[in-house]
Amino acid sequence: MGSRNDHAIPNHLVIRSNPVPGESMIGYLRRLCIANGYDTLQWVFHKNIRFADELFTEENMWEISDVTGCDCKIIRRNSYCINGWHGSSINFHGIKIDRDRIDIKYLNICPDCLLESPIIQSIWDLVDCTACPKHGTNIVNRCPACRRFFSWMRASNTCECGMVEYDDYFTGFSSENEVACAKHISFLLGNKVETEAVPGMTENIKRLSLEDFLYCVNRVYSIPVYEDENNCRVKVEMAFPDKRICVSYSMGILMDWSAPFYNHVEKISKFIIGYGGVHRVKKRAERNFLLASFLGMMGEVASKIDGTTEIFDRKWFDINKSNNLI
Ligand SMILES: [Zn+2]
Ligand SMILES: [Zn+2]
């Protein structure tokens, strides 16, 4: 029987490091698991973790700290949220953002960045960051060969099909507007990828917080489509089926503020009133309800950007008068 090795540190990974600035918690764990020869992140935890958002609990943060040897304060700071995960706002590297604005269901990556460094960046988890701010290429979450989504749980840099290495393929260039959005997000996160102002971006947009900027981008491409009576809320859908087109569309409107925005408000208002939205809401009262909620959303966007609702109220009055919408 062998004697206990007093030099080994129990429960600690052999190869360790702290997370680097901007690295996602899942990216950090993947990096350490790969370095230590584990094939899945599950090895770090006692409990079975089925979904990525189950990872961000206080208990798991302590476990990560224990296994990696990294101070729990640093682990907490780099994780998205400890408490109130299902609440509206979460901690995103010290910045408050809406929970809905991040996507951790799958692994989102820029292969060009990964080729330069093995760091999986948090910014790629932001729903509206569809382009790499550095390379101007698409952020992707599925394999170009087999179309499988990249798994956040697997500790490997090769797709399950074995055909594609994450740092070894071209994803296509993003539109100018998507890149402008990504660069501005990067700037607001303090990454300073944006060395000079994004061309065409107005001062009104530049002074928004990250939370407000993401809110405005998302709201401009969202259309209320039906009322969810059980939850007493209106369901919204993306104006276009492709998220990248949505971001491009919103950024075009936000950067040329404000005339295209009011055209958008007019167009969608007519759509809701005329057709009842995608789901063809028949009753006039329901259509008016959807219109009211759409205008509420747009009023919020306008007040964040203009700093007042007065301009929006006046413009909406003009649109309403000329179209006799209600
Ligand atoms: Zn990149
Ligand atoms: Zn594949």
User: What is the residue-level pLDDT of the chain in tens, covering all 326 positions?
Assistant: 444 444 545 568 888 889 998 999 999 999 999 999 999 999 888 889 998 888 888 899 999 999 999 999 999 888 887 655 555 788 888 888 988 899 888 999 999 999 999 999 999 999 999 999 999 999 999 999 999 999 999 999 999 999 999 999 899 999 999 999 999 999 898 876 555 557 778 888 988 999 999 999 999 999 988 877 777 678 889 999 999 999 999 999 999 999 999 999 999 998 888 765 555 656 777 888 888 899 999 999 999 999 999 999 998 888 777 766 65
Q: What is the pLDDT of residue 286?
A: 80
DSSP 287-318: HHHHHHHHHHHHHHHHHHHHSSSHHHHHHHHH
How much distance in Å is there from the Cα of 250 to the middle of ligand 2? Answer: 32
DSSP 200: T
pLDDT of residue 324: 66
The predicted pLDDT at position 200 comes to 73
Distance 202 CA to ligand 2 centre (A): 41
| 137 found inside a domain | no
Q: Ligand 2 center to residue 108 CA distance, Å?
A: 14
The phi, psi pair for 98, rounded to 5°, reads -70, 135
- Measured in Å, residue 11 CA sits from the centre of ligand 1 at 35
The answer to the question of residue 231 being in a domain is yes
CA 134 to ligand 2 centroid distance, Å: 25
- Write down which residue in 72, 98, 124 finishes a domain: 98
Distance from residue 170's CA to the centre of ligand 1 (Å): 11
Q: In this structure, is residue 114 part of a structural domain?
A: no
Residue 283 lies in a domain: yes
Distance CA(237)–CA(225), nearest Å, equals: 7
Query: Does residue 239 belong to any structural domain of this protein?
Result: yes
63 in a domain, yes or no? yes
Assigned domain for 266 exists: yes
Residue matched to tokens 């499988």:
148
Beta bridge partners of 210: none
Distance in Å, CA 168 to ligand 1 centroid: 12
CA of 33 to the centre of ligand 2 (A): 21
pLDDT attached to residue 319: 78
Structural domain including 43 reads 25-98
| Six token digits for residue 136 | 């101007």
In a domain, 82, yes or no: yes
Alpha carbons 134 and 110: distance in angstroms, whole number: 10
Question: What backbone torsions phi and psi does residue 319 show, to the nearest 5 degrees?
Answer: -60, -45
Q: Which of 150, 137, 155, 125 is nearest to 42 (CA)?
A: 155
Domain count, the chain: 2
CA quadruple 76, 82, 86, 87: dihedral sign = negative
Bridge partners for 233 per DSSP: 228
Structure tokens belonging to residue 93? 């590297």
| Ligand number with the minimum distance to the CA of 166 | 2
Distance CA 326, CA 284 (A): 10
pLDDT for 230 = 72
Closest by CA position to 181, among listed 156, 150, 216? 216
Q: How far is the CA of 152 from the centre of ligand 2 (A)?
A: 14
Instruction: Find the ligand nearest to 109 CA.
Output: 1
Ligand 2 centroid distance, CA of 45 (Å): 27
Q: Which residue is it, tokens 């969202």?
A: 222
